[in-house]
Structure 1
Amino acid sequence: MIMGVPRPEYPRPTLVRDQWLNLNGPWLFEMDAEDQGLRSAWFSTGLPKPSPIVVPYPVESEASGIQQLVPADVVWYQRELEIPVDWQDRVVLRIGACDHWTRVFVNGQEVGQHRGGYAPIALDIAHALKPGVNRLVIRVQDSLSWTQPRGKQAGTTRWPIDYDSVTGIWQTVWVEPLPTVSIESTSFDYCCVSGELTYRVYFSGQIDGEQTLEISRNGVPVAKASVETGLRSEARFKVVIEDGELWSPAAPHLYDVSLKLVNHRTNEIDEVTSYLGLREVSVDNGELRLNGERLFLKGILDQGYFPGGWYTAMTDDDLRADVELTLAMGLNCARKHQKAEDPRYLYWADRLGLLVWAEMPSGKIFTTELIETLTGEWIELIKRDRAHPSVIAWVPFNESWGVWHQAERPEQRAFVEGVVGITKALDSSRPVVGNDGWEFSAGDLWTLHLYFENRDVATRLAELIEQPDSSVTDEYGGLKRVGALPGANIEGLPILLTECGGVGFGHYSEEDFSYGEIPQTEQAFETQIREIAAMIGAAPQLQGFVWTQLTDIQQEINGLLYFDRRPKLPLATLREIFDQLGHENAVFAKGG
């Protein structure tokens, strides 16, 4: 039973305002199997036969109180909303994430729509509000179609690596009062050699005003600057921070940031607080580097599913615990796989020193709809997350999902390469992995998925380096998946093994799935992990790995932890295994 407001913490840690109202908690809910709610004007008259639901937990979760594993394609939410009397001007409703097509009504008036299940939603609602109690109604339409980005959610087909679906609201809902033009996001990049910090502030619209930036460390001012916005929708600062304390997994130093935007036309002021970590991610001389030092990535494939809340962690402490568990196993990175994770996870990664690969959930059928939705959401997610120092790489595609035929169909390859270009245009401070796993065509790292099919990894890597157009795998319908597409240049790129391991242990049902034979004892499980780790350690070509995976999830039993986060082996044992990897004295081989 959930007591009080669930997930009460401020949901957007890189952009915090004093005034806000959390709308999590009890709502009314109704499934609309016949899709009659619009025709019957439920948005105006109210839901006819509602049941209670707890927001922000998805419909399929136990915590929602609904726990309907196969909900109707259309569902409705409703609650009353009373705005504080001193919120006189602009009011914005924000939904962290809602899957998939969201339409919002206030007092019977539609105030906006959004397509996509992962990017945040922000809608101006002041024009539809009235004094006193207001009715807020949200209609959500989802489907099983693979023409929309859905990640690991089962659709019209269900692979052994897919899980139950996610429908509706699954991140915090809140409202906040804002000036006519407000601060909406930030980003930064830092040069370790010069100490120069480039800091950008992005606004909700063009503004003639003054933007002020103040940076401090432990209450001591470090830098302060102001710029005129010049009727633009963003402002840029360049400041030098001498002898800066760098952010890294070993020492995740953070600086406090205060931002103040003054509107010259209206005299309105917007003030927010944030933070930043001084760190530089680069690819130099064929090496992946953090703060100029060679980085060996020791990662975990983290799908981001949780007991009770399914796609939504029950508490903020659960998000923190996953970061802590990853670090306790001797790992330094989480590849958040096929899910754009709750920003609160990224907050704890920033605070505790865990590197993160941010990945766009895939669709699996190449259509105009997929192009539009994936590109639009990916842009919004980059804007949301590029202020997090823990995020060190962008991954828009995985294993050619949704672009299965890019080797033969130029429009699919153009899509991948176009999204890589857009990503670099939005953020040039991080590497981009265009298509993780195989069929490289564009990006900054050559990343491969190898599950050790009775051959040692060093030999297989050597073969791929010698002949990049040789097959990485043929498991997808017997189609050959090559390391790199014709004409793609992998010369000098760092090589990382971004899926490996996948050893299963435990038994739930006849549907249990893992990679390879499932060991029957804890000792056999440990032996297999050690054998694979030894193969990784014997491959001097590698500059990192990502182990599959953090936890068991439904039929997939290849977690290092059970779904309830109990370790399958002592954490100290896992740490001892992974601590041995890192190739401190190796000379890295590079692509090509």
Structure 2
Amino acid sequence: MSSSVDLEPAVFRASQQDGRYPRPQLVRPSWAELSGEWGFAFDDADIGLTARWFADPQFDRKIQVPFPFESAASGIQDTGFHKVAWYSRTFDDIDLAEAGFFAGQRLHVRFGAVDYRASVWVDGTFLGQHEGGHTPFSFDITDAVVSGLSEHTIVVRAEDDPLDVTQPRGKQDWRVDPHSIWYHRTSGIWQPVWLESTNPLAVTLVHWVPDLPNASVRVRVDLSRRPAPGTTVSLSLSFDGVPLSDTTVAVTATTQSFTLAVPVQMNGQAYEELLWTPESPRLIDATLTVRTGSTSHVQGTAVDVVHSYLGLRSAAVARGRFLLNDRPYYVRSVLQQGYWPESHLASPSPEALRRDVELIKELGFNATRVHQKIEDPRFLYWTDRLGLLVWGETPGAFEFGATAVQRMLAEWTEVIERDLSHPSLVTWVPLNESWGVQHIAHNPAQQNYARALAALTRTLDPSRPVISNDGWEHIDSDILSVHDYESSGDILRERYSDEHAKHALLGDLGPAGRRLLLPGQEIGERPVMLTEFGGISFATQYTDSDAWGYSSAQTADDFLERMDAVVSAVHTSAFLAGFCYTQLTDTLQETNGLLDENRMPKAPMRHLRAIVTQSAPATPALD
């Protein structure tokens, strides 16, 4: 293996990556992917720790990582209740070389997500544990790797109790078989695993928060350890290869924030030319270089180089409208479960993540609400690059109590830290339909919890609107969202017609019989959005007895007519600031998608798009 490496910045544009790298906004060129075949064993009797399986893993089955063991793509396809599962994989000098590892460097194993609790060993040495099924974690394994071995072994123990409803679980069913709106579980390793090498002093996190009025970007850089005197971070920004800004700052702490000027944005008549929107998803490339031993006269030695990107945009609300870059922007969104029949919540391939974004845009939507799921960061890369607004919504727990609260607060904090810099993500949703706070209308503790989640979100990220509880029973929301599966276009048209109808709606029990606003939640100038509606079942792959939806169509013509009736009614509203149609794809028994579970449209795409955009008469006749 090489004993040195050139760490000076190479010509690389993070905005133009191919979508495979698991952490798209903090990219290093050398990494070793650990997807593929791993050893696997269930541990239903929970004897593995006592029997020291981590020291000598002799697992008798094989699994394809990163697919949950419940899925066909994993090769296991066992949807029964299994609380504990074990994984093992070897890596060798070839993997170390791909990871860029050499003497003096630190070696890390990184996990995109393991549901729900993961314990990790390397060569028999315990590295640590991570709790939270939807967020990334990593361990420095340098000192655990036993020297002299030709192969090294990673062992993972994944614990996911199917009956524990205090875990943030979203749409994962607590019953053996899927029912109603819940689906097969996604347990164990379900996002990428990879090796990466860094200098002992390295960047661990970078956040970008644009400040459009002041032609600048607020930057936060986290380092792996406290830097020695003379350490600097150089940041360079460019767009399409043209330099925009180049700044070097001294760093003295493990976390440092500063402001980076973007002088070209001072031209008030031209600054919109660089702004990010779904119609013009312009991304700014960034390179960060950490140097040690710098003085006022000498540039130090580069010890770490990472590549990133950002988008110049703002998201806010005012005067009853959602504002993108301080201008009213009507949100045409679609609910997306992020579920595939062969791989469940894990994407079957990196290309599948891009294809979902492309399909949403082809259907005429400019936004998506990823429902009860923290989506793979590579999906957010494509929403950033191709141009699609995203509502970030966390999976809910179903029980209220101290354990559920602690788990949600910890995982939600990690979610915001992971995704804060994505320009496409414009709204945070910590709770949905009072899941986990079913008695929030009458329980002061649950009300305080919803307020606390909203306050925590704004504390960590004050740059985006927050919806405390999507759908109903709002208590501290910037956007007042309503869920309404009324199938009559005439009723919807009247219900959402004008300002009088708006106040009548919000001041009463909502369409689902739940209070829309709780005491303390003001209407003011907050925008109102219909964030779940439609839900028309058109079963192209299931029998009528297996299919589920809020209303049903029998033919493609019938489906288009029903869809046009409800979407057209929503478009006529004088006060709605946007909508979210349910939903993008069929998901198991829930057959209310515009596409079937294999992403095939249920009617010609041009007719579906015409209905969504109301850009042309929606002709129901099939091509």
Q: How does the TM-score come out when normalised to structure 1?
A: 0.92
Decide which of 130, 154, 159 is 1:141's aligned counterpart: 159
Q: Which residues in structure 2 correspond to 1:489-568 (within 5 Å)? A: 489-506=522-539, 508-509=542-543, 510-516=545-551, 518-568=552-602
| Structure 2 letter corresponding to 1:370 | A
CA distance in 1, matches of 2:224, 2:333: 36
Q: Specify whether residues 187 and 457 from structure 1 end up closer, same or farther in structure 2 by C-alpha distance, changes over 3 A only.
A: farther
413-422 or 85-94: which moved more? 85-94
CA distance in 2, matches of 1:184, 1:350: 21
Q: CA contact under 8 A between 2:391 and 2:427: conserved in structure 1?
A: yes
Q: Which residues in structure 2 correspond to 1:121-200 (within 5 Å)? A: 121-131=137-147, 132=149, 133-144=151-162, 145-156=164-175, 159-200=179-220
* Deviation, structure 1 residue 279: 1.0
CA distance in 1, matches of 2:615, 2:436: 34
Q: Which residues in structure 2 correspond to 1:135-534 (within 5 Å)? A: 135-144=153-162, 145-156=164-175, 159-208=179-228, 209-242=231-264, 243-244=270-271, 245-263=274-292, 269-452=303-486, 454=488, 456-461=491-496, 462-463=500-501, 465-466=503-504, 468-474=506-512, 480-506=513-539, 508-509=542-543, 510-516=545-551, 518-534=552-568
- SS of residue matched to 1:425: helix
Q: Specify whether residues 530 and 256 from structure 1 end up closer, same or farther in structure 2 by C-alpha distance, changes over 3 A only.
A: same
* Deviation, structure 1 residue 240: 2.7
Q: Specify whether residues 80 and 434 from structure 1 end up closer, same or farther in structure 2 by C-alpha distance, changes over 3 A only.
A: same
Give deviations 1:164-212, integer Å, cap 9, x for gaps.
1111001000111122342222222324344222232233444343121
- SS of residue matched to 1:45: coil
Q: Specify whether residues 334 and 467 from structure 1 end up closer, same or farther in structure 2 by C-alpha distance, changes over 3 A only.
A: closer
* Deviation, structure 1 residue 415: 1.3
| Structure 2 letter corresponding to 1:139 | R
| Structure 1 letter corresponding to 2:304 | D
* Deviation, structure 1 residue 458: 4.3
Q: Specify whether residues 8 and 386 from structure 1 end up closer, same or farther in structure 2 by C-alpha distance, changes over 3 A only.
A: closer
* Deviation, structure 1 residue 135: 1.4
Q: CA contact under 8 A between 1:152 and 1:338: conserved in structure 2?
A: yes
* Deviation, structure 1 residue 54: 0.8
Q: Specify whether residues 241 and 188 from structure 1 end up closer, same or farther in structure 2 by C-alpha distance, changes over 3 A only.
A: farther
Give deviations 1:546-579, integer Å, cap 9, x for gaps.
0000000111000000000110011110111112
Match of 1:586 in 2: none
* Deviation, structure 1 residue 453: 5.5
* Deviation, structure 1 residue 63: 1.1
Give deviations 1:72-93, integer Å, cap 9, x for gaps.
2100000112234615332221
428-437 or 243-252: which moved more? 243-252
Decide which of 49, 58, 61 is 2:68's aligned counterpart: 58
| Structure 1 letter corresponding to 2:173 | A
User: Is residue 23 of structure 2 the alignment partner of residue 35 of structure 1?
Assistant: no
* Deviation, structure 1 residue 463: 4.7
- Structure 2 unaligned runs (5+)? 1-17, 265-269, 295-299, 617-623
Q: Which residues in structure 2 correspond to 1:565-580 (within 5 Å)? A: 565-580=599-614
Aligned residues: 569
CA distance in 2, matches of 1:136, 1:198: 38
CA distance in 1, matches of 2:503, 2:255: 45
- SS of residue matched to 1:376: helix
- SS of residue matched to 1:42: coil
Q: CA contact under 8 A between 1:303 and 1:338: conserved in structure 2?
A: yes
Q: Which residues in structure 2 correspond to 1:107-126 (within 5 Å)? A: 107-126=123-142
| Structure 2 letter corresponding to 1:381 | V
Q: CA contact under 8 A between 1:146 and 1:156: conserved in structure 2?
A: no
Q: CA contact under 8 A between 1:207 and 1:233: conserved in structure 2?
A: no
Give deviations 1:388-439, integer Å, cap 9, x for gaps.
1111111111011001112222211111111111111111111111111011
Q: How does the TM-score come out when normalised to structure 2?
A: 0.88
- SS of residue matched to 1:424: helix
Q: Specify whether residues 206 and 400 from structure 1 end up closer, same or farther in structure 2 by C-alpha distance, changes over 3 A only.
A: farther
- SS of residue matched to 1:491: coil
* Deviation, structure 1 residue 473: 4.0
Q: Specify whether residues 323 and 87 from structure 1 end up closer, same or farther in structure 2 by C-alpha distance, changes over 3 A only.
A: farther
Q: Which residues in structure 2 correspond to 1:67-146 (within 5 Å)? A: 67-82=77-92, 83-84=96-97, 86=102, 88-131=104-147, 132=149, 133-144=151-162, 145-146=164-165
Q: Which runs of 4+ in 1 moved over 4 A?
A: 156-159, 263-268, 461-464
Percent identical: 37
CA distance in 2, matches of 1:142, 1:381: 19
- SS of residue matched to 1:380: helix
Give the root-mean-square deviation of aligned CA atoms: 2.1
| Structure 1 letter corresponding to 2:221 | V
